[in-house]
């Protein structure tokens, strides 16, 4: 990876603005929050109306349940969007950290650097056929065959 450091730095730099752009999600969040606010207001008005007018309580409870379900659904959508914004921001920070570590190191490492490893490697899978599969935090995957032992 260090041999292709400049390629990886360039790739990370291209990805960072894409990950930093949460504007679509933020617009979706505002729309859903407005929808939720409108639904909550309708529910409040519906309850107030029930206190002022005599209504069929069975029908009132049915309609109240519908409105309440819609409100809960909108709140769940808001939570899901907020989680996605947070996850996207986290991925952006992981790549930024990885990029910083990659820039700091030279082209040849004389000793293992735990900070660089942790900032770049998501996981390593070891297969029984002596294949190592590295998954990097930028979602790049590299497979390497372990060399045979020499005597």
pLDDT in tens, 28-54: 999 999 999 999 999 999 899 888 888
Greater model confidence, 84 or 139: 84
Structure confidence at residue 149 as a pLDDT band (50, 70, 90)? low
What stretch of H or E contains 143? Answer: strand 141-145
Q: DSSP string of 117-133?
A: HHHHEEEEEE-TTSEEE
Please, are residues 19 and 95 in contact by the beta-carbon 8 Å criterion? yes
Instruction: State the pTM of this model.
Output: 0.61
């Amino acid at each position: 990876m260090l041999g292709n450091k400049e390629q990886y730095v360039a790739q990370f730099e291209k990805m960072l603005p894409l990950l930093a752009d949460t504007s679509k999600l933020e617009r979706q969040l505002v729309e859903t929050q407005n929808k939720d606010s409108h639904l909550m207001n309708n529910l409040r008005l519906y309850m107030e109306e029930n206190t002022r007018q005599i209504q069929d309580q069975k029908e009132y409870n049915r309609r109240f349940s519908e409105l309440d379900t819609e409100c809960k659904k909108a709140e769940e959508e808001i939570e899901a969007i907020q989680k996605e914004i947070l996850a996207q921001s986290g991925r952006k920070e992981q790549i930024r950290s990885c990029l910083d570590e990659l820039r700091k190191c030279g082209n040849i490492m004389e000793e293992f650097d735990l900070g660089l490893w942790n900032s770049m490697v998501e996981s390593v899978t070891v297969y029984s056929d002596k294949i190592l599969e590295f998954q990097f935090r930028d979602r790049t995957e590299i497979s390497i065959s372990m060399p045979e032992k020499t005597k």
